[in-house]
Structure 1
């Protein structure tokens, strides 16, 4: 079932003196649109009441975070049962988002690439445990890199650096070929097999390995061996050339179309139905003939433990898939993607056939994704999945902002009232004032910071509160003491 929804956006309303009346009117409009779009008598197999709950959550978060468009697919018992379409493909022209819209799915390309690599392994065309140098003819890693295997590249344990994720080019422009790009982009951060190190460059190296081993173009091979057999009819690792939604960056600005030099790490274009079919293929007992059940199990089984920021959302990484243990003991596998103006996420529980796919044409959608995943987790009767912890940052910011403002007022009051202030207090306040006041200035000059992604609507308020605190501390440190 497809549910097209264009929620009434609070930000679209004109200013008016009767603010409360307008706000009540807007809330009523949201209710009318959502109730009209999502029938209340849907059966559970059609996604309700979860579909209804997600529709409310998405409408609220789209307005709160200024997200133009979102598409969601729910899977129950191993297959898609509901699709929700929300918002605009291009707000500037009024073009509505549709169910068949083709998205950049960014790093959701990695699990799809993993299926292709495993297909080659099962058909004896790629040795996952041999050195990549046995196949490579157009470029090879430096000799001091140590032996790297395709399995290590797939499990993000090859010790390869993240890479230049900002290397973007217009689709019709000249760009470096993959060997030249890898020669400039390849770095080492650990020895092969030592630890988890998320790497776009590693998957792009795997793309080169696949091409040199088979003698075929990566996109052509992936289409024949994986995409077409899985029913992903609109998906392609090449530029689709069709009209797509317009992506929007962290500041809400439209993003021009682009491609990367490599395709395996983030170059897949697909519809929500394509990714839903891919998710369904990964369920236990799925009716697909691309991989054996043992091969799918190998993709989903954790190979390396995950730490750092990734460790907040995942327990391990398999072959192209993050893994986590749910609160009831079941295993979930997932992957997400974030690029310049686009976000994507897929979460599945292979044992029970439950899954969800979320695509957006906005880079501001991370809190929205987290809220949707929290609702989905609740419908499964488990604690929120790891990715829902993104909302912790929002809670922390909502606590920190008033605390910083209150602290600023107290410090200014002390500075005004105090006859004298100890030199140690002055020096400490002076040292704290500069970073608190200046980090927001630095942040404002950056195209991307992790903070922007997890707090798209709140980080300017957090920055302002921090600047105010820095100013108050500077006054405390520099203002002369009052005399009697």
Structure 2
């Protein structure tokens, strides 16, 4: 009983913890954002982060927080090189549209016309580059855990695609986020142009946009240490492909990239129509992604802000790293956040909520990650309540029907066993959106299960 009470009090204490600092009218936006970052880093166990604020189409403030390597005591710096994970996709999209703008690719021709090192299955015929760019080719997500040491052997693009390709819907039937689709896009670009993807992207996109620290090639340059969902350090790694998540860049590089997509930006890579095509919704977004976005263009999630302005964005999460870029092209507002931790989604959501308020609009879709925290706190309270209710019923000699006892016992077993199963998983979506609350959710669930189990097996009171 004492253990149950202690567990309940610990869980209840979480309910009093603030989701983020109270927003005040004092202080500049950078001051408020810095306060939020520092608070969330502490609450969620995030090692370090770099953030860039963009106003009027120009970076106006950069903040570096926490540590690049906690073990060595190395502080995070503004020029730190990050794995930006799926922010690689919008950069790759710029490369594909650049090739289309200059007549070297056709976005609406079947990719079969170019592929030389691998062939599409017959049922997947007719897939176009536009479908790959907009995640509407019907291809499955792919093996996001396919990681290899930078200096070790890894499968080539054709071999990896052959193992990873799976059609889950008809092409152009709807949105289906796919890392494999972007890896296939990389293969198409290489086969069509006869040039290596990283070299082509460096010449056609990265260098002209001034992304001097960015590269799709592994260079061995010094980087912060990434940290997984349990806060453990992550060794360097590479993916078989690079277009989907292989870009390394500084926050300043990603800010330059974001600025290049703003209205009136001075850049020589794409025509104005080319930029517009990247941001124009191609397919409606549903499922979990639908909580944060309304559509997907070419390499960009799209949403309409509460005041009618269009916003585009992309984020990324890989093993040990998280990234996010959000921009309002018409007004030149934007924000970039990079973290060397996989536990940073709630931090990003809190920052994006404050940034949205500074623009005078309702929170952007990604800020809805914080809804999960509110739901989790309610769930913790319910779990604690069920636990104590079950213990009270057992103490009072509650006796339900045989069916009710069996159902109660089954629910109790599930509440106790699922956290034990969850801790054996390397990745669960729950861990990503609730990194700080997950242990309390597990404790409340176990407490509820034990309480209900006690009620289910309580002896019938003597008459």
Q: Flag as ranges the 4+ runs of structure 1 deviating above 2 A.
A: none
Question: 1:308 corresponds to which residue?
Answer: 287
Instruction: Please state how far the C-alpha of 1:411 moved relative to its aligned partner.
Output: 1.6
- Distance in 1, matches of 2:460 and 2:126, equals 67
Instruction: Please state how far the C-alpha of 1:435 moved relative to its aligned partner.
Output: 1.5
- Across the two proteins, how many residue pairs are aligned to each other? 439
Instruction: Please state how far the C-alpha of 1:418 moved relative to its aligned partner.
Output: 3.3
Contact 1:419–1:483 (CA<8 Å) still a contact in 2? no
Question: 1:413 corresponds to which residue?
Answer: 392
Alignment of 1:278-293 (within 5 A): 278-293=257-272
Post-superposition CA distance 1:66-99 (Å, at most 9, x none): 1110100010001101000111110100111111
Question: 2:214 corresponds to which residue?
Answer: 235
Instruction: Please state how far the C-alpha of 1:416 moved relative to its aligned partner.
Output: 2.2
- Distance in 1, matches of 2:412 and 2:455, equals 10
- Distance in 1, matches of 2:31 and 2:192, equals 49
Match of 1:375 among 341, 346, 354: 354
Give the 3 Å change call, closer, same or farther, for CA 332–480 of structure 1 in structure 2: same
- Distance in 2, matches of 1:129 and 1:162, equals 22
Contact 1:367–1:391 (CA<8 Å) still a contact in 2? yes
Match of 1:128 among 100, 107, 127: 107
Question: 2:247 corresponds to which residue?
Answer: 268
Q: Does residue 1:119 correspond to 2:68, yes or no? A: no
Question: 2:315 corresponds to which residue?
Answer: 336
Question: 1:23 corresponds to which residue?
Answer: none
Question: 1:151 corresponds to which residue?
Answer: 130
Question: 1:34 corresponds to which residue?
Answer: none
Contact 2:114–2:192 (CA<8 Å) still a contact in 1? yes
- Distance in 1, matches of 2:64 and 2:80, equals 10
- Distance in 1, matches of 2:228 and 2:399, equals 49
Question: 1:446 corresponds to which residue?
Answer: 425
Question: 1:395 corresponds to which residue?
Answer: 374
Contact 1:146–1:191 (CA<8 Å) still a contact in 2? no
Contact 2:112–2:125 (CA<8 Å) still a contact in 1? no
Match of 1:254 among 229, 233, 238: 233
Question: 1:84 corresponds to which residue?
Answer: 63
Task: Please provide the CA RMSD for this pair.
Answer: 1.2
Question: 2:17 corresponds to which residue?
Answer: none
Task: State the SS of the aligned residue for 1:196.
Answer: coil
Q: Which moved more, 1:395-404 or 1:134-143?
A: 395-404
Task: State the SS of the aligned residue for 1:266.
Answer: coil
Q: Which has the higher contact order (CA 8 A, sep 6+)?
A: 2
- Distance in 2, matches of 1:432 and 1:230, equals 57
Question: 1:362 corresponds to which residue?
Answer: 341
Match of 1:476 among 429, 441, 455: 455
For structure 2, the 5+ residue unaligned runs are: 1-20
Instruction: Please state how far the C-alpha of 1:401 moved relative to its aligned partner.
Output: 0.8
Question: 1:201 corresponds to which residue?
Answer: 180
- Distance in 2, matches of 1:420 and 1:446, equals 37
Instruction: Please state how far the C-alpha of 1:419 moved relative to its aligned partner.
Output: 5.4
- Distance in 2, matches of 1:400 and 1:201, equals 36
Match of 1:222 among 197, 201, 204: 201
Post-superposition CA distance 1:452-471 (Å, at most 9, x none): 00010111110111111112
For structure 1, the 5+ residue unaligned runs are: 1-30, 32-39, 41-47
Instruction: Please state how far the C-alpha of 1:273 moved relative to its aligned partner.
Output: 0.6
- Distance in 1, matches of 2:190 and 2:125, equals 21
Q: Does residue 1:66 correspond to 2:19, yes or no? A: no
Question: 2:414 corresponds to which residue?
Answer: 435
- Distance in 2, matches of 1:195 and 1:431, equals 39
Question: 2:11 corresponds to which residue?
Answer: none
Question: 1:186 corresponds to which residue?
Answer: 165
- Distance in 1, matches of 2:389 and 2:399, equals 16
TM-score (norm 1): 0.89
TM-score (norm 2): 0.93
Task: State the SS of the aligned residue for 1:70.
Answer: strand
Q: Which moved more, 1:140-149 or 1:253-262?
A: 140-149
Task: State the SS of the aligned residue for 2:418.
Answer: helix
- Distance in 1, matches of 2:225 and 2:334, equals 26
Contact 2:397–2:458 (CA<8 Å) still a contact in 1? no
- Distance in 2, matches of 1:62 and 1:285, equals 36
